[in-house]
Amino acid sequence: MTERSLDALIEALRRLPGVGVKSAQRMAFHLLQHDREGARRLAVALQAASEGIRHCERCHTFTEAAVCSTCLDGSRDARQLLVVETPADQAALERTGSYRGLYFVLMGRLRPLDGIGIADIGIQALLERAADGVVQEVILATGFTAEGEATAHVLAQALKAQGLSVTRLARGVPAGSELEYVDLSTLAHALSDRH
Amino acid sequence: MTERSLDALIEALRRLPGVGVKSAQRMAFHLLQHDREGARRLAVALQAASEGIRHCERCHTFTEAAVCSTCLDGSRDARQLLVVETPADQAALERTGSYRGLYFVLMGRLRPLDGIGIADIGIQALLERAADGVVQEVILATGFTAEGEATAHVLAQALKAQGLSVTRLARGVPAGSELEYVDLSTLAHALSDRH
């Protein structure tokens, strides 16, 4: 069983994040055995997305137009700019239904160990975006990981130097939690940030 | 962030086995952000494989030709026919380098709970293949799971009724194992199959 187009498919599937050689084999066999329609549909979707999707000129999220529909939405509050790491984070915040301002998507975070520095996460573009004269508050919603916190710290310094008001998502006890099962660091933050 | 081609890509990725909505999002974002070349290559590979790959007329494995290269290999021992569930199992056995006969790939196993019965796993094609007058021994190498064992049992009965010699892969202690850590069922089989 050394078929070139099968090997090429397995090799191409392995480039997906989190997919090793066993998973890639399983995916290839599944598609060929049970879901050729799915294989064709995925091929078309990949082609369309890799040709059609670019970055919004204003917020850097993925979009098919020059400016994404969120940035064009006149009903949103342009005085608030919320900074997230990824479009997935943006989608999660949108699902809460409790934010009506605009976004800026870093498309990454500081990862000094992987050589991802300040210039790589579009901090300059964010500073220019935030300096449009309309934005009054920049809400930092990078992750509460070491890298996300470091990113927030660096961004906060740069934004405050421009005279902008900078806030950070609250840390605290997750909804539905019993206190005894919450980790100590979260509990300590919830205590110090009590209101 | 409601871009149609992005949503279509995430939806198409979700059809892959073991990929939920979060993984599909992560894969789509990774491809679009870091590996558009990989996205294009995967699209081409999917298209090529879904158009070019079919089943070998003799052993049912995936192949681009009418008959696969293994079945066409005159140096292999046509008197032995080894039955596996999937091309991945076949590949694993090939890697051992200790089998020089031919294969028959069921492309599945009996899964009564999912409605996969005897007719669905190509048992008729196997009986015809094994009755070519050359095959002397059919080696059953379906998995040692409940479903794999049931499949082997049904196949053994049907093949023996045709007067064929049927064997099964040995069960026993895996190489490199300390006896105390081997599960009891395996140990019991290793004891009863001692030689």
For residue A15, list chain B residues with Cβ-Cβ distance below 8 A. 35, 38, 41-42
Nearest-CA distance B89 → chain A (Å)? 11
- A55 CB-near residues (< 8 Å, 6+ apart): A61, A62, A63, A107
Q: What is the pLDDT along chain A (195 residues), one digit of tens a residue?
A: 457 899 999 999 999 999 999 999 999 999 998 899 999 999 999 999 999 999 999 999 999 999 999 999 999 999 999 999 988 889 888 888 889 999 999 988 888 888 888 877 778 899 999 999 999 999 999 998 889 999 999 999 999 999 999 999 888 888 888 878 888 888 888 888 877
Sign of the CA dihedral A132, A135, A137, A141?
A: negative
Q: Which amino acid is at B167?
A: T
pLDDT value for B134: 94
Mean pLDDT value of segment B63-75:
93
pLDDT value for A119: 78
- Residue of B46, B58, B89 best to disrupt the A interface, most CBs of A under 10 A: B46
Nearest-CA distance B33 → chain A (Å)? 8
**What whole-number distance in Å separates Cα of residue B18 and Cα of residue A23?**
8
Nearest-CA distance B195 → chain A (Å)? 33
Q: Is the pLDDT of residue B160 over 90?
A: yes
For residue A25, list chain B residues with Cβ-Cβ distance below 8 A. 88, 91
- B1 CB-near residues (< 8 Å, 6+ apart): A61, A62, A63, A68, A70, A87, A90, A91, A94
pLDDT value for B124: 87
**Any CB–CB contact under 8 A between A91 and chain B?**
yes
pLDDT value for B2: 58
Residue in chain B lying closest to A102 (CA): B1
Helix or strand run (H / E) with residue A103: strand A101-105
Proportion of chain B above pLDDT 90, given as a percent: 62
Lowest mean per-residue pLDDT among A132-146, B33-47, B108-122, B155-169: B108-122
Mean pLDDT value of segment B155-175:
90
**Any CB–CB contact under 8 A between A86 and chain B?**
yes
Nearest-CA distance A147 → chain B (Å)? 18
* Whether pTM exceeds 0.80: no
List, for residues A83-126, the tens digit of each pLDDT value.
999 888 898 888 888 899 999 999 888 888 888 888 777 788 99
The answer to whether the CB atoms of A32 and B50 lie below 8 A apart is yes
Q: Is the pLDDT of residue B1 over 60?
A: no
**What whole-number distance in Å separates Cα of residue B7 and Cα of residue A64?**
12
List, for residues B125-146, the tens digit of each pLDDT value.
999 999 999 999 999 999 989 9
Q: Is the pLDDT of residue B152 over 90?
A: yes
Instruction: Tell me which residues of chain B, numbers 136 to 155, contact chain A at a CB-CB cutoff of 8 Å.
Output: none
Residue in chain B lying closest to A61 (CA): B1
ipTM topping 0.95: no
Q: In the numeric block, which tokens belong to residue B47?
A: 């298209």
**Any CB–CB contact under 8 A between A122 and chain B?**
no
Select from A4, A32, A45 the Cβ nearest to the Cβ of B12. Answer: A45
**What whole-number distance in Å separates Cα of residue B16 and Cα of residue A42?**
9
